[in-house]
Amino acid sequence: MDPLGSVIVETGRCIFSFFFTSIATVIKLQHNTGRLRKEFEKLEDRKNGIEEDVRLAETEGKCATEQVKGWIWKVEEIEQEVQPMLEKADRLAVQGCGPCCNILPRYRLCRRMAKKQLEVQQLINSCCFDNVVTDKKSPVRAVEKQQGPSLAGQREAEEMIEKLMELLKGDENKRIAVWGMGGVGKTTLVRNLNNELESSSLMESIDIVIWITVSKDLDLKKVQSQIAKRLNLELDPNEVIEERAKMLLKRLMMKKFLLILDDVWEHIDLDIVGVPQTDDQANRKILLTTRSLDVCRAMMTDEEIKLDVLKQEAAWNLFAQNAGDVVEVPSINPLARAVAKECGGLPLALKTVGKSMRNKRRIELWKHALHHLQHSDPHVKNIEDEVYRRLKLSYDSLPSKILQSCFLFCSLYPENYSIRTDELIQCWIADRLINEHQPLEDCFNDGIALIETLKDSCLLEQGDCARTVKLHDVVRDVAIWISTKQGSEKPCASILFTNITKPPKQFSGFSELTVIILVGNPINKIHDNLFAGLRKLRVLNLSQSHIVTLPPSLSQLQELRALLLRDCCYLEKLPSLGALRKLLVMDLSGTRLRELPNGTSKLKKLQELHLFRTHHLETIEAGTISGLQSLELLDMSFSAYKWDTRCNVDYGKASFNEILTLDRLSIVKLRLDKVDSVTLDSAWLMKLREFNIQISPGSCDSNNLATQHDEKRAILRGVDLMGIKGLNGLLDTASALDLVICGGISALSELSISHRLSSLESVKSLSISKCDCITSLISGDNISGTILPNLEHLSLNRLENLGAILGGMVPRKGCLKWLKTIEVVDCKKLRALISFALLQQVKNLEQIKVKNCSKMKYIIGGEVSAEMIPKLRVIELSDLPMLKTICSRLPAWPALEMIEVRNCPMLTKLPFATSNGVAATLKEIRGELQWWNRLIYSNDEIKSSLQQRFQPLKPLR
């Protein structure tokens, strides 16, 4: 072969060899890639399975063994090498094996992949572990004991714990709150509950109790960490809250738990935390403690238990326990009890003060402590740090500066003083804490909202009377302490004196003063210059003092908004008020004023004028009332002033027509001798939001019935109901009607004929007293349509001739259909309360109260069925000597909760037909033990069922 041919042949061989080798390498690479990928996927599956086993074991307090951790580390290391190889092989496969293909990188990759495949197989073969996890962490206990004082032996606390246990057992209560003021013992109570759970049958349905302390500065990550720690679950601190929540949710969904959230100050979104919130979580419950009822609402709790301060005996025992045996020393005991009383039953204060006085035997030290506590001085050891500062947190957490100022304002009233809510709102308006440039109703609503917020925050509490509030003694001390602290930073804006007989001659150096409250002080004289220089004063409250007059310097208070002189029972004269042009409210109730002060007609901004119980007020100059064009409230209840005297105009006195000119008037309370000489038309009365109008000839005294908010009450006393004229408008619009010593009709239904009224449809509350002419409430003989269709409350008192509530044939349609309560007292001729005919009407009846009806033999007449009394809850019977039965025995009582029987000797049977007929809703039966022992039962089952509900009444003195 010639040289050229040899070259060509050799070149051909090389080219063929290159292509053959390239193809072989590509095939080999594809084969190795496939095997490596297959083995690598096996390794990944094995790793994922082991990691899942580890995660599940962590919920049991376990963790991965060191061998497993090392194997997982090696897998993660080889993952970082294999993944790039597979990606590179995929790229080369896309390029193919053309002439330009570089065979060397493919060859090298193919060999590396073969080597890695062997390493992957070795890792797969080495993952057969004896133990994947180990008990390195402590096992999770169902209940972790909480440190704190025991409540064993404290009866009220033990009863509260029992109540909480019962609530936790029920499926319907998924979220329960214990709320109350700071230092009242919420945490201590729930800690004791937590500790008792360990031995409780409740743990049969709960896997774990998780205690979380939340505190004021809410940190959701911190809450998550506390829950995770309790579950022996590790959360990555650097991970976002949502990812941590997923891990918590997964663990908690496997558990039946009780989550206790202690010291909650604001709404916690449990979904964000990772706590399951499904509707069917009967065995997943939340128990929280808080100072705020608003928090309970935001957390949508099913039951709220308010924890109150300790009663006197329990408070003394707690104080004595902390103070030691020294409190039993005869000379110290009275002082110690007085010191304990100053703590107001607040456990935190009782403990703090008690410990500070422990085993101190010098009387001087006890007197010193008592003096400082009585004067709201925090110099008793530790009380500032341990009590005042902790209670101040509630003040700090109030949502606005306005609320804080409203709270501090309440401390200006004397200790343990019940503040009238309307007076408090008046002062807040005057002190610019409520916007004065709005209608009175809106101001009142704003004030009620502020009061309720303070009550919900446990900074205000219900007063001793209706429509009053007060500060707990210790809370008041805290408010004064806060005000004192702030006083160094800004001018003093208010002042309070207690138990003084002579105020200073002048408030020199107090030019910034805005509020003076001298409530209940026995002051009888005020110096002429007392008010000089107080040009910023907005509130002056001298109520219940002994002043006879006020000095002329009163006219210098040109910023004054509220002048409150209620129940200054010696006050006979006031200086001219014409200069007080910004006055919004003036209360002269209960004074001895004979005439309104000069200049009253110039009070163009006056919104409220209170002249309640002004028994000596005889003169109001003509034009005085009509000049008060901003007036919205006029209260002249039980005043001596005669509005309806025809000669008023002749003598230069104000007439009733002046009241009719007041376009803004919305609340009126006054007395009229008669109505035929004044205009009481429906149109004017309908414009009023509230009224209390009494028609009583020749007397300013009457039954003192308070008008409810938004109520329109008419009181007719000593009038001839048939002969009196001009009542139509009043009776058409009144929502409450009181008839006292009235005559002229034998049944109320006669009013609809004599006064051409349709049905008294506006009346919701009806009270009839001492009207001897009345023989029945409604007589079918003189009505053809319905009567009292919207009546809800009926009270009949001392009606000597009342024989029946319904008489004759009464139309059934709509008559008394909304009646809820019936109260009958001293009706001597009434033999039955509810006749069978009346029973057909009163399907909404809820309460029956009967007392001192000497001839009454039964309460409900005729055969009774459960459908006739579906809502009856309460039956109270007293002093009924002839009563033999309540009603026929029922197979079931749908709603009955309580029966009380006192001095009904002939009542020997209760209306229960069978033991199953004893209402499931029945909570208690009250009565004298002697009466109870005489009762006759159909069978022993009924007796046993009722016996469980019986509560003996103490004999009346």
Dig out the tokens for 678 from the structure.
């004044």
Q: Distance from CA of residue 866 to its chain's centroid?
A: 35
Rounded Cα gap, residues 742 and 725, in angstroms: 14
- 530, 655: one domain: yes
Q: In terms of domains, do 931 and 890 share one? A: yes
Residues 352, 228, single domain; the answer is no
Rounded to the nearest 10 degrees, the angle between the axes of helix 103-125 and helix 3-58 is 30
Is residue 439 one of the residues assigned to a domain?
yes
State whether 299 and 321 are in the same domain.
no
- Within this chain, do residues 263 and 376 fall inside the same structural domain, yes or no? no
Residue 393 within any structural domain of the chain? no
- What is the number of domains present in the chain? 7
Determine the pLDDT at residue 943: 85
User: How many Cα atoms within 13 Å fall on the side-chain side of residue 448?
Assistant: 8
pTM as predicted: 0.78
Report the C-alpha dihedral over residues 362, 364, 368, 374, rounded to 10 degrees. 100
The answer to whether 304 and 179 are in contact (CB under 8 A) is yes
Cα–Cα distance measured from residue 755 to residue 773, given in angstroms and rounded to the nearest whole number: 18
Enumerate residues 6+ apart whose C-beta is below 8 A from 249.
274, 275, 276
Domain boundary among 286, 306, 326: 306
Phi, psi torsion values for 611, nearest 5 degrees: -130, 35
- End-to-end, the C-alpha distance of the chain in Å comes to 148
**Alpha-carbon dihedral angle through residues 542, 543, 549, 551, given to the nearest 10 degrees:** 20
Amino acid identity for residue 247 in this structure? M
- Residue 839 counted as domain residue: no
Which of 295, 267, 263 shows the shortest CA–CA distance to 189? 263
Partners of 849 in the beta sheet? Answer: 823, 876
- What is the C-alpha to C-alpha distance for residues 473 and 374, in angstroms, rounded to an integer? 9
Question: Which tokens go with 538?
Answer: 């907005």
Q: What secondary structure does DSSP assign to 107-134, as a single string?
A: HHHHHHHHHHHHHHHHHHHT---S-SEE
Beta strands 419-420; 468-470: pairing state = antiparallel
Residues 332 and 376 in one domain: yes
Q: Which long-range contacts (CB under 8 A, 24 or more apart) does 223-228 make?
A: 223/268, 223/273, 224/248, 224/273, 224/274, 227/252, 227/259, 227/273, 227/274, 227/275
Q: What is the pLDDT of residue 161?
A: 92
Report the CATH number that the domain containing residue 240 is assigned in CATH.
3.40.50.300
Kindly state whether residue 845 falls inside one of the protein's structural domains: no
Q: Are 617 and 642 in contact (CB under 8 A)?
A: no
What is the three-state SS of 555-595?
HHCCCCCEEECCCCCCCCECCCCCCCCCCCEEECCCCCCCE
C-alpha span between 248 and 225 (Å, rounded): 10
pLDDT of residue 37: 83
Distance in angstroms (rounded) separating the CA atoms of residues 764 and 771: 20
Question: Which pairs from 20-29 meet CB under 8 Å and 24+ separation?
Answer: 21/103, 22/97, 22/101, 22/103, 23/97, 25/97, 25/103, 25/106, 25/107, 25/110, 26/96, 26/97, 26/101, 26/106, 28/110, 29/89, 29/92, 29/93, 29/106, 29/109, 29/110, 29/113
Distance CA 250, CA 247 (A): 5
How do 63-64 and 133-134 pair as beta strands?
antiparallel
Alpha carbons 290 and 299: distance in angstroms, whole number: 11
Q: Are residues 810 and 693 in the same domain?
A: yes
Residue 390 in domain: no
- Of 325, 354, 385, the one marking the end of a domain is 385
Provide the residue range defining the domain that includes 329. 312-385
Q: Residue 540: its pLDDT value, please?
A: 94
Identify whether residues 318 and 409 lie together within a single domain.
Answer: no
Say whether both 668 and 521 belong to one domain. yes
Domain boundary among 672, 703, 736: 672
The answer to whether residue 830 is domain-embedded is: no
pLDDT, residue 95, reads 67
Does some domain include residue 476? yes
**CATH code at position 514:** 3.80.10.10
The answer as to whether 841 is a domain residue is no
Q: Are residues 356 and 461 located together in one domain of the fold?
A: no
Mark the ranges of the chain whose per-residue pLDDT is less than 50: 7, 9, 12, 14-21, 99-100, 488-490, 492, 702-704
- The answer to whether residues 294 and 409 belong to one domain is no
Check whether residue 180 and residue 329 sit in a common domain: no
